[in-house]
């Protein structure tokens, strides 16, 4: 069993609301971030419908960094995640922490077998990845055009079983004595966020 942590040592995922839409749009406009919009399903439902949306803030200051979203939950047991961070504010691997919290949240809260992300090499640097496509399950060559250039779309995914094998190695992003696999005990007192 996994616990859906939303706080790491450096960031906090806060539930997003309609009031956060202006901030979301601002991040997208400032960063010229690509977006991938799958076509609607035959039944008329939207694959981009959010199952969970979070603002991402810096834990010690409360500064807004961007947002994370889980969307497109489908009957096959898949869910997608998207992460959009302001590159001027989100440095030194905080994007990786947001991804880890989002993926763990997906497996802890939803009956899914696979979490999927699609992105271009334009975002690799903010995630601590090199120019190569290591770990990509598939690459759609020149799939998107933005920033005056054609970009390859890289598809990444992790299964519930795969997450179960690696999640314990990621415990250092949580405050001790927290664990990904157990509910915080009554003796644990969460540090105040924003201080």
Residue 52: how many CB atoms within 10 A of its CB? 21
Please tell me the distance from the alpha carbon of residue 98 to that of residue 68, in angstroms, as a whole number.
Answer: 7
Per residue in 61-105, pLDDT (tens digit) is 999 999 999 999 999 999 998 888 887 777 777 888 998 999 999
pTM, full prediction: 0.79
11-36+48-173, CATH topology level: Aminopeptidase (3.40.630)
Domain ranges of the chain: 11-36+48-173
* pLDDT tens digits along 33-56: 444 444 455 555 555 578 999 999
Both tokens of residue 169? Answer: 């190695």
SS3 59: coil
Name the helix (H) or strand (E) containing 83. Answer: strand 78-85
């Amino acid at each position: 069993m996994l616990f859906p942590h939303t706080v790491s040592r450096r960031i906090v995922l806060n539930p997003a609301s309609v009031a956060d839409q202006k901030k979301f749009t601002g991040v997208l406009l400032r960063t010229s971030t690509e977006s991938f919009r799958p076509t609607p399903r035959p039944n008329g439902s939207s694959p981009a419908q959010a199952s969970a949306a979070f603002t991402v803030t810096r834990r010690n200051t409360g500064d807004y960094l961007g947002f994370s979203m889980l969307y497109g939950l489908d009957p096959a047991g898949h869910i997608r995640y998207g992460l959009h961070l302001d590159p001027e504010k989100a440095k030194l691997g905080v994007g990786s922490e947001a991804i880890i919290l989002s993926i763990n949240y997906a497996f802890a809260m939803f009956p899914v077998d696979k979490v999927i992300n699609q992105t271009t090499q334009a975002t690799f640097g903010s995630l601590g990845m090199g120019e190569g496509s290591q770990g990509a399950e598939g690459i759609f060559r020149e799939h998107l055009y933005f920033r005056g250039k054609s970009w390859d779309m890289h598809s990444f995914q992790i299964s519930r079983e795969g997450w179960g094998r690696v999640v314990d190695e990621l415990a250092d992003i949580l405050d001790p004595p927290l664990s990904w696999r157990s509910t915080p005990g009554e003796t644990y007192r969460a540090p105040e966020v924003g201080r």
